[in-house]
Homo-oligomer: A and B are copies of this chain.
């Protein structure tokens, strides 16, 4: 077993939330106790949040390790840009802004000085903003409509005609937001990407829960 593999497996085991003594780990991986201590040092030096308590054992918080990445300058710029977008302004969920801030700090910390961002042209920043705002354009409407139980009329890219929907939920899938809705036009549940919405009109009337058209019915159906 190579050292890197052992470190990985070690981390997996540590993340189970329980305490592990170095002796137990050493036996499990077939190495000496001293090696385990050295491995813990290696992990800690790599920034993994492992904690050892004398007399108790080791534990680690869940964390995700990103291997070395090679980025173009534009990609780094986009990375900063995106974190700025999320981190700017403290709101109801400050943990997001905090996470963006700490991630930015992590990236800045490991970057050599010459890679630190230089001011780019206005056109760049301006376009960056527009890009960023584009995909979110309709989010507030959806958000408000779900709260208020307001029907919407939407036109979707790649789908003919207009749809009249009861928006039920918004999901975040890592890079894409989707909306789960009851589609009045089709008489069925529907699911689409919000950034594919080309036209959006809130309709005047409010809807009331009806059996078979609620979010809970959608969930039941999927079991």
Q: Is the CB of A104 within 8 A of B175?
A: yes
- B-contact 0/1 string along A123-158, CB 8 Å cutoff: 111111111111111011001001000000000000
The 8 Å CB contact of A91, one of B84, B122, B127, is B127
Q: How large is the interface on A (under 10, 10 to 19, 20 to 34, 35 or more residues)?
A: 35 or more
Can you tell how many copies of this chain the complex includes? 2
Measured between beta carbons, the chain B residues less than 8 angstroms from A78 are 83, 86-87, 96, 99-100, 103
A47-B70, A70-B48 known; A99-B75 Cβ under 8 A:
yes
Please tell me which stretch of A25-33, A57-65, A199-207 contacts chain B, meaning at least 4 of its Cβ atoms lie within 8 angstroms of it: A57-65
Which residue among A122, A143, A173 has the maximum number of chain B CB atoms within 10 Å of its CB?
Answer: A122
Q: Is the CB of A96 within 8 A of B128?
A: yes
User: What's the Cα separation between A184 and B11 when bound, in Å?
Assistant: 59
A35 touches B (CB below 8 Å): no
User: What's the Cα separation between A110 and B49 when bound, in Å?
Assistant: 20
Q: Is the CB of A80 within 8 A of B175?
A: yes
The 8 Å CB contact of A79, one of B82, B108, B140, is B82
The 8 Å CB contact of A46, one of B68, B90, B129, is B68
Closest chain B residue to A104, Cβ basis? B175
The 8 Å CB contact of A195, one of B47, B89, B103, is B89
The 8 Å CB contact of A63, one of B71, B127, B132, is B71
Q: Is the CB of B68 within 8 A of A67?
A: yes
Closest chain B residue to A92, Cβ basis? B127
Residues of A bordering B, CB below 8 Å:
46-49, 61-93, 95-97, 99-100, 102-104, 106-108, 110-111, 115-117, 119-120, 122-137, 139-140, 143, 146, 169-178, 195
Which 10 pairs of residues, A with B, have the shortest CB-CB distance? A88-B135, A82-B82, A117-B174, A89-B134, A119-B171, A93-B127, A125-B172, A74-B99, A47-B70, A85-B85
